[in-house]
Amino acid sequence: MPDIRVITRPEELQHTDDANSLGLFDPYLLSRHRVDEHLLLMDDEGMPLGRCSLWWREVPEHDAYQLGAIGHYASVDDSSAETLLQYACKRLQEQGCQLAVGPMDGNTWRSYRFVTDAGSEPAFFLEPENPKEYPDQWLASGFEPLATYTSAINPDLSEKDARIEKALKRFNDRGVRIRSLRLDDFDKELETIYAISVMSFRDNYLYTPIDKNEFIEQYQKVKPYVQPELTFIAEIDGRAVAFLFAIPDLAQAQRGERPDTVIIKTVAVLPERASRGLGSLLVGYAQYVAHEAGFKRAIHALMHETNISGNISAHYATTMRRYTLFGKQLG
């Protein structure tokens, strides 16, 4: 019979054969992500059949339920998935959780949601990926869609948006200036981006505050791939009020192709009157600059279907991929 091992320290995981059948997993994510428990499902011979991490102390707030999160998920087959997920839900319920959500590595600043409609486009750089059977495993264990997300593609950046020039002049008359990221002062720029992000995203679904150091650590990992001319910060009288972060689709290079696609990953605008409309302007302006730099396409990445970013994207792009975050009521 399968056996579930409960792990709370990275050192315990280092002595397992976790990588043999489930893929590589960094044990120190348990401490960096402040995991409450890590579950490892083993067969009679000590080989891993499934894994997941649980969070109940540091989790997003919900209007109606006490949440527990399930992340770091992997399973070798449907039977193992059912055993693992049922036990995970049992453990969360024992801790007072009323709703299990996942896949989510603790919060929405980290990896979360499954690809549930892959479409025909290949995976793009830094996009979450998962085996196609994973969503069905969660559905079979009683989970239901809790939130849905999309990525969209603008296949032709040569089509100019006539509104951009007028919008640039209008914002310029208001004292708004748009500048490129200063890569030689990257840490300070990240502090600026952090301050905008925590204010802009605080009303997002399942928002959780994030420590500045953890935020900066996440962005530091992508610094080698950043092209500063593709990331913009908007300022009013020298005060940053919005930013757009974009990066080339380096997955194309990994496939032996010349990157011709830019990924617009994040747009954030401070919620104040002077900033209204800046998100739309930044997206249009970024696509114009990307085209001038030789890019032919743009991907608008990982948007919640009810967020304003989806409305902005719809002016330029069509949906290419769908993602789902799942939930299950406990008890």
Outline where 128-220 has alpha helix (H). Answer: 134-140, 163-173, 186-200, 212-220
Q: What is the DSSP string of 42-104?
A: E-TTS-EEEEEEEESSS----SS--EEEEEEEEESSHHHHHHHHHHHHHHHHHTT-SEEEESB
Q: What is the pLDDT of residue 3?
A: 92
Query: What pLDDT shows up at residue 20?
Result: 57
Per the CB < 8 A criterion, the answer to whether 290 and 122 are in contact is no
Q: Which domains does the chain have, with CATH numbers?
A: 3-112 (3.40.630.30), 154-324 (3.40.630.30)
Q: Residue 124 has what pLDDT?
A: 98
In whole numbers, what is the pLDDT of the chain averaged over residues?
Answer: 94
pLDDT digits (tens, 9 = 90+) for 243-259: 999 999 999 999 999 99
Q: What percent of the chain clears pLDDT 70, i.e. is strictly above it?
A: 98
Quote the CA–CA distance of 299 and 51 in Å, as a whole number: 32
Q: State pLDDT tens for residues 61-94.
A: 999 999 999 999 999 999 999 999 999 999 999 9
Confidence of residue 14 (pLDDT cuts 50, 70, 90): low
Mutual angle of helices 163-173 and 278-292, in 10-degree steps: 120
Mean per-residue pLDDT, 261-287: 94
pLDDT at position 19 is 47
DSSP letters for 1-33: --EEEEE-SHHHHTTS-THHHH----TTHHHHT
**pTM for this predicted structure:** 0.94
Alpha carbons 228 and 326: distance in angstroms, whole number: 36
pLDDT surpassing 90 at residue 15: no
Residue 153 reports pLDDT greater than 90: yes
Q: How confident is the model at residue 18 (pLDDT cuts 50, 70, 90)?
A: very low
Give per-residue pLDDT as tens, 168-222. Answer: 999 999 999 999 999 999 999 999 999 999 999 999 999 999 999 999 999 999 9
Amino acid at 26: D
